[in-house]
């Protein structure tokens, strides 16, 4: 007899990390602009100086796609999604400007070309917009660093069958959550959330290509500077 048949209980999953996935209405137009006008200027070598596959262009010196004139319609739509994310999902007031600080290409051609676990400190909000996502291409995976349910360090880990306390992973105990990446969608999440990519099939054709980026939110110029946290408007920033 299972526990559920003899014991009544309720479960409350508290303090979530939320990942927003939205559809880019102008995807066809954005994709065309990217491949025709942006990609030729932002090409990067498949292999880096160490002989490893370059899965991102972030370290190739031009993580500034957001500064391109031809990227303006795409960046505007990305910004709309970001505002929906922090106002409708997180419930923040409409007192912020969204500053795009960095944007680059994430690219892979087969199941071995993965982006290892990483995070985007010190930004606030990060995104991945899937410009081209062939059938069977990688998922994006998020990792739980808060470990709210980890009773003691290592209790939820799995090394191999004989070296784990886990009977099965549940939503409450998993330390990794993977999402299928669909072309034309944008995935938005807190920059401090660890993430990477995971293979979902042995092979896929064509290239999996996403534009990844970081944003910082700052107080609108019209807002009084009465908050003890967060950035004030950059018009007041100085360097000496
Ligand atoms: Fe990333």
CATH of the domain at 91: 2.60.120.10
Per-residue pLDDT at 61:
74
Single out the residue of 213, 214, 207 nearest to residue 107, CA to CA. Answer: 207
- Note whether 187 and 20 are within 8 A (CB): yes
The domain in which residue 131 lies consists of: 21-236
Please check whether residue 125 lies inside any domain of the structure.
yes
Residue 94 structure tokens: 């409409």
Per-residue pLDDT at 174:
96
Please check whether residue 8 lies inside any domain of the structure.
no
> How close is the Cα of 118 to the center of ligand 1, in Å?
6
Nearest-10 Cα torsion for 62, 200, 129, 131: 80
Please check whether residue 97 lies inside any domain of the structure.
yes
DSSP bridge partners of 125 = 190, 215
Please check whether residue 159 lies inside any domain of the structure.
yes
- Give how many domains the chain has, as a whole number: 1
Q: Residue 26: which residues within 8 A CB-CB, separation 6 or more?
A: 73, 74, 77
Please check whether residue 82 lies inside any domain of the structure.
yes
Please check whether residue 3 lies inside any domain of the structure.
no
**pTM of the model as a whole:** 0.94
Please check whether residue 11 lies inside any domain of the structure.
no
> How close is the Cα of 200 to the center of ligand 1, in Å?
18
> How close is the Cα of 49 to the center of ligand 1, in Å?
21
Give per-residue burial for 43-74: e unless 16+ CB within 10 Å, then b.
ebeeeeeeeeebbbbbeeeebebbebeebeeb
Averaged pLDDT in 10-residue chunks for the chain of 240 residues: 76 96 98 97 89 86 94 98 98 98 95 93 96 95 95 95 96 96 98 96 90 98 91 96
Please check whether residue 157 lies inside any domain of the structure.
yes
> How close is the Cα of 209 to the center of ligand 1, in Å?
13
């Amino acid at each position: 007899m299972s526990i559920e048949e003899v014991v009544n209980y309720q479960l409350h999953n508290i303090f979530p990390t939320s990942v927003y996935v939205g559809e880019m209405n102008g995807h066809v137009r954005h994709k065309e602009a990217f491949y025709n006008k942006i990609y030729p200027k932002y090409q990067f070598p498949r292999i880096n100086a160490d002989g490893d596959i370059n899965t991102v262009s972030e370290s190739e010196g031009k993580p500034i796609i957001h500064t391109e004139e031809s990227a303006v319609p795409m960046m505007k739509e990305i910004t709309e999604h970001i505002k929906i994310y922090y106002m409708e999902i997180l419930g923040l007031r409409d007192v912020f400007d969204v500053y795009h600080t960095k944007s680059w290409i994430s690219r892979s051609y087969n199941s071995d070309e993965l982006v290892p676990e990483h995070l985007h400190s010190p930004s606030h909000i990060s995104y991945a917009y899937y410009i081209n996502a062939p059938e069977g291409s990688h998922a994006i995976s998020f990792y739980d660093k808060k470990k709210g349910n980890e009773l003691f360090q290592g209790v939820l880990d799995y090394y191999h069958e004989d070296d784990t306390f886990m009977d099965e992973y549940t939503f409450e105990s998993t330390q990794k959550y993977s999402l299928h990446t669909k072309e034309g969608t944008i995935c938005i999440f807190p920059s401090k959330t660890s993430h990477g990519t995971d293979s979902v099939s042995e092979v896929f054709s064509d290239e999996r290509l996403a534009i990844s980026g970081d944003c910082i939110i700052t107080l609108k110029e019209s807002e009084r500077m009465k908050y003890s946290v967060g950035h004030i408007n950059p018009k007041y920033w100085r360097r000496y």
